Amino acid sequence: MLGFMTKELVKEKLTGRFGEAVSFEEPYGMLAFTVPAAQNMDVIQFLWNEGFQFLTDLTAVHYPDRKNEELCVVYHLHNLVANVRVRMKAYVPSATPDIQSAVPVFAGANWMERETYDFYGVNFLGHPDLRRILNVDEMDYFPMRKEYRMEDPTRIDKDDEMFGR
């Protein structure tokens, strides 16, 4: 574990360990990289060993136009000693949205993975209690997926005039 670390050093270490499997970008100055879904836990364990021991956030994004990569699982990891944050992404198809659970490394991932399952339908393999956390158990769809029309644009009951604006 290093006390001093830069984004360039993180890129170098990831490339040295995982080679071409990792692709990088830097939107808004934050190091972001994409890994194959089958290697998500290998990369997470590697990053943990390198000092990224705080899971800031775990969520998903739905990209309905990406064939066989419709769901993107996003992890934000922080090395508190070196004050470096990274974003890791792994894509899974919506037909089989399976990815390994991060709970064995980050106990705090438990509820984040449940929420991501609840809203996006990502199946975290090996999760100790993967079930809905906010929506009702009977719900048979995942509301954050972009599979449904937005609210009816012809409704007038929500116009500004109805609220005195």
Give the pLDDT confidence of 119-158 residue by residue, as tens digits: 999 999 999 999 999 999 999 999 999 987 777 777 777 7
Place of tokens 């996003």: 74
Side chain identity at residue 39, one-letter code = Q
Close Cβ partners of 159 (under 8 Å, ≥ 6 residues apart) = none
Q: Which residue has the tokens 């705090």?
A: 108
Nearest Cα neighbor of 35 from 14, 63, 49, 55 is 14
| pLDDT confidence bin for 2, thresholds 50/70/90 | very low
* Res. 23: pLDDT tops 70: yes
Pairwise CA distance, residues 102 & 107, whole Å = 8
Q: What is the pTM of this model?
A: 0.88
Which of the following CATH numbers is that of domain 7-156: 3.30.460.80, 3.40.640.10, 3.40.50.720, 3.40.50.620? 3.30.460.80
What secondary structure letter does DSSP report for 130? -
Is the pLDDT assigned to residue 102 strictly greater than 60? yes
Cα angle: 84, vertex 87, 89; to 5 degrees: 155
Q: Hey, where are the domains in the chain? A: 7-156
31-34, strands of its sheet edge to edge: 23-25, 31-34, 84-92, 71-79, 54-62
* Percent over 70 (pLDDT), the chain: 98
Task: Tell me what pLDDT residue 3 has.
Answer: 55
Instruction: List phi, psi (to 5°) of 16.
Output: -60, -35
Average pLDDT, the chain: 93
For residue 150, what is the DSSP state?
A: P
Q: For residues 15-43, give the mean pLDDT.
A: 97
Task: With cut-offs at 50, 70 and 90, classify the pLDDT of residue 78.
Answer: very high
Tell whether the model's pLDDT for residue 107 goes beyond 90.
yes
